[in-house]
């Protein structure tokens, strides 16, 4: 089966500022892809190009196997949900949701107020539109809002109406640009689940832009991490988090942020961190690298041993189910962060000096250009058996 | 909101001092307003019921009869009718043309500032000075407007000198004057429309510029349009300078308008009583226009 939504080698510049550089995404039918990245990285621009609201300088967009690069947005049969909701303020909820149907199913004359319904066929069309609107409103539980205007509703209600306007005509793709970022935290979490279940029910490919990594990881089948106009990695949430391909992906995803330590690969492919040998299996010349350790993989103990890093404990941050320890490396003064179980935190609380260690296979090594480098075989798993 | 268990709070001594300070601070403005606005208005209202004339000692109180006289006065009625015609010509034309030009300028990214300044020029230029330019343009024998007509083999028009044409010609100048202001207001209104609405309309299948205008632009311009229409009508009702400089109400009173008639009654014939009554009617017309705006139409264009 052809992928449902394909963006191929899309590039875009505004004046001299290059915003998208050779971006490609292939979304399968019914897939939910979250596009996540820092502010200004070009997410909205990419989404608008997918929608047809903006023209790419180069590249191709295809929908359900059809090249729509030169098709205007109104004819692409996609629906978009905007951060600002973009509801028509002078129309009631019912009219807002009905508008995309009216535009597609009725002729210009049939859309006229009053006299548009003069023929029986027009009346039948109007009735079917109203039935579809009612059904959508029920699915979104906004039936009692149908006669209100957008100005008379809360942000969450408006967002529901905006979703309704998008799903009512069963488009070939949903495009959502930070639809939840104007809502308060509790409502946001609630709406996440709701959007996911709406997506499941509709089974329509969805491109969902957000700068909130929790949203991206929690909602999507696959996450595309976009930084500086490039997609650095596109993979399942688990892979994005546990096995990032690029140092920027590793540091953008994950809160608190991943710890980064300077390291060195020396002759024989052996990895050293501040003079301590960690493991081997690397190829290539002698060079500097960066070692990443997720805060939950930093193991703190009160006693020093061979590979451990001596640390000062600066502050403990109690977050309920976990405790964040803010630490300082005694050797180079760099800040480190560890995530602890509350039980473990009470063991170290009050101590000044601690020692951190990590399991080899939980370390990630990055080249200076940011790309991931892997050891041929993890020493922790026994290099000897591979060599044999 | 009411405070719970609400016993009305008594003013303490401190509160009294605050009140006194507040009154003292308001006093200068209040006195000025009284002396410069309220009292003169009351004086005009009072005089409007009399037949007072400047320089003639004593006057008679006519009561509502003064107004009854006014509405049988042919000159006043003609001024009233001429003003209405003038407004009916100037307001719709300058609003519609202003809107169309604003849409054209908005659609074309280049030259926006240039066109805006060009059309805004009449607003900032002195009407009296501009009137003499119009007098030249509309001159029956060597005015460029007639020269152009002749070039195309059309008959000349006696723009300001014929009682059939004079009101239309004045309206033409009035449209030219009002256009720039309306255009700038519409441009501001257009800029304020959320771009996402156009994107949403496009996604919803709104294809033609025509339906885009009726789906997004026109409803979103509602408050601007209402304001523009009101301001234009009020300004048109107040037409005076062009009449006073170009036609003096002529020929044969064909361009007598309210403000010019009031001016003549009050300051040329010194009929203070009649002029006051006319002024009251004039202000009443303006108030009705304002009232229609704020009370009736406002509700229909503000959606939030
Ligand atoms: N119409 C435009 N003209 C010029 N530059 C633009 C235009 N639209 C966007 N840009 C620039 O392109 C870059 C990417 O913008 P975009 O809106 O795609 O970012 P984003 O990832 O959606 O950010 P955010 O998370 O803040 O919404 C920004 O630097 C922005 O300044
Ligand atoms: Mg954006």
Q: What tens digit of pLDDT does each residue of A181-212 get? A: 888 888 889 899 999 999 999 899 999 999 99
User: Which domain range does residue B282 map to?
Assistant: 65-303
Are the beta carbons of A103 and B196 separated by less than 8 Å? no
- Asked if A192 and A267 sit in the same domain, the reply is no
Residues B259-292 pLDDT 10s: 898 898 888 888 888 888 888 988 998 899 888 8
Residue A122 and residue A232 in one domain: yes
Q: Tell me, what's the pLDDT at B304? A: 60
Among the candidates A223, A246, A269, a domain finishes at: A246
When pLDDT is cut at 50, 70 and 90, the band that residue B151 belongs to is confident
User: pLDDT digit string (tens) for A19-32?
Assistant: 999 999 999 999 99
User: What per-residue confidence (pLDDT) applies to B92?
Assistant: 95
DSSP classification of residue B142: T
Helix residue ranges per DSSP H, chain B = 13-33, 39-47, 65-70, 74-107, 112-124, 127-137, 144-151, 166-191, 195-203, 209-212, 218-220, 222-237, 241-242, 258-263, 272-291, 298-301
Is residue B225 pLDDT above 80, yes or no?
yes
CA atoms of A37 and B17, how far apart (whole Å): 59
- What is residue A76's predicted lDDT score, i.e. its pLDDT? 92
Kind of pairing between the strands at A353-357 and A299-301: antiparallel
Residue B55 maps to a domain: no
* Residue B54 within a domain: no
Which of these ranges, A289-303, B59-73, B235-249, has the smallest mean pLDDT?
Answer: B59-73
Q: Which of A165-174, A247-256, A346-355, B50-59 has the lowest mean pLDDT?
A: B50-59
Top mutation candidate among A7, A18, A19 for ligand 1, by most atoms within 8 Å of CB: A19
Mapping DSSP onto H, E and C, the string for chain A reads CCCCEEEEEEEEEECCEEEEEEEEEEECCCCEEEEECCCCCCHHHHHHHHHCCCCCCEEEEEECCEECCCCCHHHCCEEEECCCCCCCCCCCHHHHHHHHHHHHHCCCCCCCCCHHHCCHHHHHHHHHHHHHHHHHHHHCCCHHHCCCCHHHCCHHHHHHHHHHHHHCCCCCEEEEECCCCCCCHHHHHHHHHHHHHHHHHHCCEEEEEECCHHHHHHHCCEEEEEECCEEEEEECHHHHHHCCCEHHHHHHCCCCCCEEEEEEEECCCEEEECCEEEEECCCCCCEEEEEEECHHHCEEECCCCCCCEEEEEEEEEECCCCEEEEEEECCCCCEEEEEECHHHHHHHCCCCEEEEECCHHHCEEECCCCEEECCCCCHHHCHHHHHC
CB–CB of A74 and B200 under 8 A? no
Residue A306: its pLDDT value, please? 75
Residue B107 lies in a domain: yes
Is B44 domain-assigned?
no
DSSP strand pairing (A205-210 vs A17-27): unpaired
Which residues have C-beta within 8 Å of that of residue A315, sequence separation ≥ 6? Answer: A325, A326
**Residue B75 belongs to domain with CATH number:** 1.10.3720.10
On average, the pLDDT of chain A sits at 89
Would the pLDDT of A137 be above 60? Answer: yes
Q: Is residue B278 part of a domain?
A: yes
Query: CB–CB of A31/A22 below 8 Å?
Result: no
Are A69 and A87 within one domain?
yes
Which domain range does residue A35 map to? 5-246
B27 lies in the same domain as B149:
no
pLDDT digits (tens, 9 = 90+) for A313-341: 998 999 988 999 999 998 888 999 999 98
A57 and A197 housed in the same domain? yes
My answer on whether B94 and B23 are in the same domain is no
pLDDT, residue B68, reads: 82
pLDDT at residue B8, rounded to an integer: 61
Q: Do A194 and A330 share a structural domain?
A: no
State the pTM of this model: 0.82
Instruction: Say what the pLDDT of residue B14 is.
Output: 75
Please indicate, yes or no, whether residues B195 and B297 belong to a single structural domain of this protein: yes
pLDDT of residue A36: 96
B143 is written with which tokens?
């005015």
Which chain A residue has its CA at the smallest distance from B216's CA? A88
C-alpha to C-alpha distances, A386 to A15, A267, A269, A382, B55, nearest whole angstrom: 53, 20, 16, 7, 122
Q: Does the residue A251 lie in any domain?
A: no
Q: How many domains does chain B have?
A: 2
Q: Which two tokens stand for residue A127?
A: 């009735």
pLDDT at B3 (0 to 100): 47
For residue B187, pLDDT over 70 is answered with: yes
* Cα A343 to averaged position of ligand 1 atoms, centre (Å): 45
More confident residue, B55 or A4: A4
One domain, residues A162 and A238: yes
ipTM (interface predicted TM): 0.84
Over the stretch B33-89, which tens digit does the pLDDT of each residue have? 999 989 988 988 888 888 877 777 777 877 787 788 888 888 888 899 999 999 999
Q: What integer pLDDT is reported at residue B47 of this predicted model?
A: 85
Using CA coordinates, name the residue in chain B closest to A175. Answer: B203
CA distance A347 to A327: 15
CA distance A74 to chain B (A): 4
Residue A383 has pLDDT above 50, yes or no: no
Write the pLDDT tens digit of every residue in A95-125. Answer: 999 999 999 888 888 888 778 788 888 888 8
With 80 as the cut, is the pLDDT of residue A155 above it?
yes
Structure tokens at B54: 């400047």
Least confident range of A226-230, A303-307, A356-360: A303-307
Closest Cα in chain B to A95: B215
> Considering A203, A218, A246, which residue would you say is the last residue of a domain?
A246
User: Residue A43 — very low, low, confident or very high, per pLDDT cuts 50/70/90?
Assistant: very high
Question: What band does A387 get if pLDDT is binned at 50, 70 and 90?
Answer: very low
- The answer on B72 and B24 residing in a single domain is no
Distance from CA of B208 to the nearest CA of A (A): 10
Indicate the residue among A205, A226, A246 that finishes a domain.
A246
CA–CA gap between residue B41 and residue B55 (Å, rounded):
21
| A39 CA distance to ligand 2 middle (Å) | 7
Instruction: Among A44, A212, A213, A215, say which to mutate for ligand 1: greatest number of ligand atoms within 8 Å of CB.
Output: A44
How much is the pLDDT for B220?
A: 93
Among A5-14, A125-134, B134-143, name the one with the lowest average pLDDT: B134-143
Domain annotation covers residue A346: yes
pLDDT at B21 > cutoff 80: yes
Statement: residue A388 has pLDDT above 50: no
pLDDT at residue A233, rounded to an integer? 96
Pairing of strands A222-227, A32-36: parallel
Q: Average pLDDT, whole number, for chain B?
A: 85
The residues, any chain, with a CB within 8 Å of residue A157's CB and separated by 6 or more, are: A142, A145
pLDDT at B1 over 50: no
Chain B positions touching A87 (Cβ under 8 A) are 200
* Domain annotation covers residue B5: no
Q: Residue A233 domain-assigned?
A: yes
Residue B231 has pLDDT above 70, yes or no: yes
Do B22 and B97 belong together in one domain?
A: no
Shared domain check, A115 and A144: yes
| Same domain, yes or no: B223 and B141 | yes
Examine the domain organization and report whether B107 and B142 are in the same domain: yes
Domain count, chain A: 2
Residue B46 maps to a domain? no
- At residue B143, the pLDDT reads 82
Residue B213: partners with Cβ closer than 8 Å, 6 or more residues away: B103
On whether both B104 and B252 belong to a single domain, the answer is yes
- pLDDT for the residue numbered B171: 92
- Is there a single domain that holds both residue A275 and residue A236? no
Quick one: average pLDDT of A2-25? 93
CATH of the domain at A326: 2.40.50.140
Is residue B51 domain-resident? no
Q: Which residues from chain A sit within 8 angstroms of residue B220, using beta carbons? A: 89-90
Q: Are residues B214 and B154 in the same domain?
A: yes
At B236, is the pLDDT very low, low, confident or very high (cuts 50, 70, 90)? very high
Which residues of chain B are within 8 Å of residue A51 when distances are taken between CB atoms? Answer: 199, 203
Residues A211 and A355 in one domain: no
Is the same domain home to B253 and B205? yes
What residues form DSSP beta bridges with A371? A246
First-to-last alpha carbon distance for chain A, in angstroms, is 43
Instruction: Please indicate, yes or no, whether residues A144 and A56 belong to a single structural domain of this protein.
Output: yes
Assess whether A102 and A36 both reside in one domain: yes
**Do B213 and B131 belong to one domain?**
yes
| A62 shares its domain with A130 | yes
pLDDT cut 70: percent of chain A above it: 97
Residues B98 and B151 in one domain: yes
């Amino acid at each position: 089966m052809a992928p449902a939504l394909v963006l191929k080698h899309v590039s875009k510049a505004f004046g001299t500022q290059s915003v998208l550089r050779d971006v490609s995404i292939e979304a399968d039918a019914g897939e939910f892809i979250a596009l996540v990245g820092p502010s200004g990285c070009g997410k909205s621009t990419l989404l608008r190009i997918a929608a047809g609201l903006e023209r790419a300088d180069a590249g191709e967009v295809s929908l359900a196997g059809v090249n729509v690069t030169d098709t205007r947005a109104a004819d692409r049969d996609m629906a978009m949900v905007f951060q600002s909701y973009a509801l028509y303020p002078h129309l009631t909820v019912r009219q807002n949701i009905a508008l995309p149907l009216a535009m597609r199913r009725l002729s210009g004359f049939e859309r006229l107020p009053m006299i548009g319904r003069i023929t029986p066929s027009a009346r039948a069309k109007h009735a079917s539109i109203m039935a579809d609107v009612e059904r959508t409103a029920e699915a979104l539980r906004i039936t009692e809002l149908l006669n209100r205007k957008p100005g008379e509703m809360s942000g969450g209600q408006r967002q529901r109406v905006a979703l309704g306007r998008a799903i009512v005509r069963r488009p070939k793709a949903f495009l959502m640009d930070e639809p939840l970022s104007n809502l308060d935290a509790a409502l946001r979490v609630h709406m996440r689940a709701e959007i996911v279940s709406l997506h499941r029910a509709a089974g329509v490919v969805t491109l969902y832009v957000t700068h909130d990594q929790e949203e991206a990881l929690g909602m999507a089948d696959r996450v595309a991490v976009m930084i500086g106009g490039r997609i650095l990695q596109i993979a399942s949430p688990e892979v994005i988090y546990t096995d990032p391909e690029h140092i920027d992906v590793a540091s953008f995803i994950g809160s608190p942020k991943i710890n980064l330590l300077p390291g060195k690969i020396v002759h024989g492919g052996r990895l050293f961190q501040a003079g301590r040998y960690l493991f081997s299996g690397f190829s290539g010349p002698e060079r500097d690298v960066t070692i990443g350790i997720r805060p939950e993989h930093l193991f703190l103990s009160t006693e020093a041993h061979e590979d451990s890093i001596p640390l000062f404990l600066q502050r403990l941050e109690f977050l309920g189910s976990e405790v964040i320890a803010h630490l300082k490396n005694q050797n180079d003064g760099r800040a480190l962060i560890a995530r602890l179980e509350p039980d473990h935190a009470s063991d170290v609380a009050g101590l000044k000096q601690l020692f951190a260690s990590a399991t080899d296979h939980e370390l990630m090594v990055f080249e200076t250009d940011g790309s991931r480098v892997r050891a041929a075989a993890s020493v922790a798993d026994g290099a000897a058996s591979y060599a044999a | 909101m009411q405070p719970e268990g609400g016993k009305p709070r008594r003013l303490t001594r401190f509160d009294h001092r605050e009140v006194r300070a507040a009154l003292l601070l308001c006093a200068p403005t209040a006195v000025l307003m009284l002396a410069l606005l309220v009292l003169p208005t009351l004086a005009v209202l009072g005089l409007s019921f009399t037949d007072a004339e400047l320089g003639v000692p004593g006057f008679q109180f006519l009561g509502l009869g003064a107004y009854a006289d006014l509405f049988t006065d042919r000159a006043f009625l003609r001024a009233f009718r001429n003003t209405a015609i003038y407004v009916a010509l100037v307001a719709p034309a300058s609003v519609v043309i202003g809107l169309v030009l604003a849409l054209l300028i908005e659609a074309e990214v280049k030259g926006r500032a240039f066109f805006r300044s060009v059309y805004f020029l009449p607003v900032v230029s002195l009407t009296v000075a501009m009137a003499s330019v119009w007098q030249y343009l509309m001159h029956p024998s060597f005015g460029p407007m007639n020269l152009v007509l002749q070039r195309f083999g059309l008959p000349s028009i006696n723009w300001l000198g014929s009682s059939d044409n004079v009101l239309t010609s004045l309206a033409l100048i009035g449209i030219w004057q009002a256009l720039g202001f309306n255009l700038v207001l519409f441009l501001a209104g257009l800029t304020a429309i959320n771009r996402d609405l156009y994107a949403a309309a496009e996604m919803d299948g709104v294809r033609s510029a025509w339906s885009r205008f009726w789906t997004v632009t026109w409803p979103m311009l509602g408050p601007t349009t209402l304001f523009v229409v009101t301001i234009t009508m009020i300004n048109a009702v107040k037409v005076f300078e062009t009449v006073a400089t170009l036609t003096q109400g002529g020929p044969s009173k064909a361009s007598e308008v309210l403000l010019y008639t009031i001016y003549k009654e009050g300051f040329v014939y010194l009929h203070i009583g009649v002029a006051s009554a006319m002024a009251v009617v004039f202000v009443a017309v303006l108030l009705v226009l304002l009232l229609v705006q704020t009370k009736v139409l406002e509700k229909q264009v503000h959606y939030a």
